[in-house]
Amino acid sequence: MMLDADVRLRLGELLLEVRLKAAPGQLVVLVGPNGAGKTTLLRALAGLVPVDEGRISLNGEVLEDTSREVRVPTERRPVGMVFQNYLLFPHLSVIENVAFGLRARGVSRSEARQQGAVWLERMGLSAKADAKPRSLSGGQSQRVALARALATSPSLLLLDEPLAALDAPARAGVRRDLRRHLATFQGVRILVTHDPLEAVALADRIVVIEGGTIVQSGDVAEVTARPRSRYVAEFVGVNLFRGRGVGDSIEIDTGGALAAPDARWGDAFAVVHPHAVSIHRKEPEGSPRNVWRGTVEGCDFEGDRVRVRIQGTPSIVAEVTPPAANELDLVDGGPVWVSVKATDVVVYPA
Amino acid sequence: MTQGRARRGSVRRLPAFAFPAVLALLVLVVPLVGLIVRAPWGDLGAELAAPEVRQALVLSITTSLWATALAILFGVPLAWVLARLEFRGRALLRALIVLPMVLPPVVGGVALLLAFGRRGLIGQWLDQAFGITLPFTTTAVVIAELFVAMPFLIIAVEAALRSSERGYEEAAATLGAGRWLVFRRVTLPLIAPSLGAGAALCWARALGEFGATITFAGNLPGTTQTMPLAVYLALQSRPEGAIVLSLVLLAVSLGVLVLLRDRWFAAA
């Protein structure tokens, strides 16, 4: 039981070249910038866009193989999909939406309705069975879309930004529900998201796609600790530098250097967590090995923290508490000193 | 302040426009008023019951309903092809389909005659192979009406298909629905309002068809003499009958307008 996809296709500007394997019970989260090819990959797996070259197999069944000209049409793939804006059929009631897939697969009307009712009960939406989708809230629509996709018992479940259509306050609760409902599904699950929180909360494995190719893949801890691209670093909210290790420090490609005890030699990434970056009004004295001057480029308030973007060699993002920010009297364009302990610079080979 | 100025400005400009505007309105409204004033309201029932009036009425309704049904049957698939498939010459095809809407109906009738007439392109073959002659039959009336009215339906349905969310069809496919089922259970219900509007327009146009019908199907009472033809003929011999039939056609037109008001006048 697993998904093995080797997909190569061109769609407008995008050239997608991806090899993706996923085990059942695993929740793979696809992240990446806009236009990177995440949704296109989902659509290729569902058979909604043809693959130019490659092979897709699910549990040993070949869904697509361009070398043998095999192509199972969408309606005969054991694949369920939750679309970004849910796409509940507006002319059908909620229960008819959920029962649609069963009806399409030849299940009798009464049987399909019965199973649909079971799904709605599981989703806590029994009261809405005969309502039209337009009367549902965003979170309810999402649950109906999920029930509709799961009702046909697919082996592969694809979710395209299932929380993107919701406003921020609703998201946390719906994310929790989604996680609970997804946990009961036994097949392969692939979810696309833009939201780091969603990725971290839901993923067993994160796959990063940029420019049509997979640039990094691993479990959550691995990807957050050792990002391999600027996008991933920003996604998980850390400072990433690329450079060359020269023994006990790393020379950064874009200028500047950072002392790091285990820098070693050769091409390397260095990661510095924003909360490990200290800001000072005067040149600090004492132990920190990495001290340099910069100017404040801007401050972003994020809940109980302030993220301060500092321009310098290298430029870096620091994270301080609001009182500390206040005390430092940070103004845009104002001069500051930055320090980072050498032991807080994590280096790994590029 | 600006609002007040604008209002004053528009009032000042009104007299210059008022004369042609009123004239335009009169051109559109006076004939209808004339028709209604002159109508023999007292004898309406008797006039409608007159055999030649009833005959034309029944023929018109039957043929126009046939034409509408056939337009739906053939026009919807054609609209789907235009809206959903990418192929070379699609723009040309669309222009060809719209052509009957702007073509003088008489020209359409001549063209139909040259195609389906006994010595016509297809008519010749139909005559030899099956002994079928179309011109001057009720079938010819239906074909003439179909020719002029089907474009209205195709255009309405194509526009609806174009603007409808393709995603619904894709969602249905991921749920296991094949093309036909998707069309029947998802596409068609979603475009139903536009299909209804297109069908109403198509029917109204078929009901009023004159030029192509008289050219291709002739003017035989009971067989090809539809209401508009009967109106034209009756006007010379029995104006009351013409007026009554005209009233019926006017009522149908008003009915279609009322039916479509939400679609066309919602913004007003």
A143-198: pLDDT as tens digits: 999 999 999 999 999 999 998 888 877 888 888 888 888 888 889 999 999 887 78
The verdict on A249 and A331 lying in the same domain is: yes
Report the pLDDT averaged over residues B202-206.
93
Whether residue A258 lies inside any domain: the answer is yes
The verdict on A230 and A277 lying in the same domain is: no
Reported ipTM: the value is 0.81
Cα–Cα dist A166/A158, whole Å: 18
Q: What is the length of chain A?
A: 350
Cα–Cα dist A288/B13, whole Å: 80
Q: Return the CATH number at A230.
A: 3.40.50.300
- Tell me how far the alpha carbon of residue B40 is from its chain's centroid: 28
What pLDDT digit, counting tens, does each position of B86-137 carry?
Answer: 889 999 999 999 999 999 999 999 999 999 988 888 888 888 888 888 888 9
Q: Return the CATH number at A263.
A: 2.40.50.100
CB interface of B with A, residues 185-204, below 8 Å: 185-186, 189-190, 192
Whether residue A196 lies inside any domain: the answer is yes
The verdict on A305 and A342 lying in the same domain is: yes
What is the fold of B47-264? MetI-like fold (1.10.3720)
Contact A340, A250 (CB under 8 A): no
> How open is the CA angle B153-B157-B158, to the nearest 5 degrees?
115
Residue contact A100–B175, C-beta within 8 A: yes
> pLDDT-based confidence at A78, cuts 50/70/90?
very high
Report the pLDDT averaged over residues A73-101.
95
The verdict on A198 and A63 lying in the same domain is: yes
| B3 CB within 8 Å of a chain A CB | no
Domain count, chain A: 2
The verdict on A263 and A164 lying in the same domain is: no
Whether residue A199 lies inside any domain: the answer is yes
The verdict on A278 and A257 lying in the same domain is: yes
The verdict on A228 and A244 lying in the same domain is: no
Whether residue A127 lies inside any domain: the answer is no
The verdict on A260 and A226 lying in the same domain is: no
d(CA B63, nearest CA chain A) in Å = 33
The verdict on A215 and A243 lying in the same domain is: no
Whether residue A46 lies inside any domain: the answer is yes
The verdict on A345 and A242 lying in the same domain is: yes
> pLDDT-based confidence at B26, cuts 50/70/90?
very high
Whether residue A211 lies inside any domain: the answer is yes
Whether residue A28 lies inside any domain: the answer is yes
- Among A203, A234, A265, the domain boundary falls at A234
Q: Which domain holds residue A318?
A: 238-349
Task: Decide which of A259 and B215 is more confident.
Answer: B215
DSSP E strands, A155-204: 156-160, 188-192
- Among A234, A257, A290, the domain boundary falls at A234
Whether residue A121 lies inside any domain: the answer is no
Cα–Cα dist B239/B245, whole Å: 10
Q: From the list A87, A104, A149, which residue is nearest B181 (CB)?
A: A104
- Tell me how far the alpha carbon of residue B156 is from its chain's centroid: 12
What pLDDT digit, counting tens, does each position of A292-340 carry?
Answer: 999 999 888 877 888 899 998 899 999 888 888 888 888 888 899 999 9
The verdict on A14 and A38 lying in the same domain is: yes
- Among A189, A215, A234, the domain boundary falls at A234
Nearest CA in chain A to B176: A75
Rg of the Cα atoms in chain A: 24
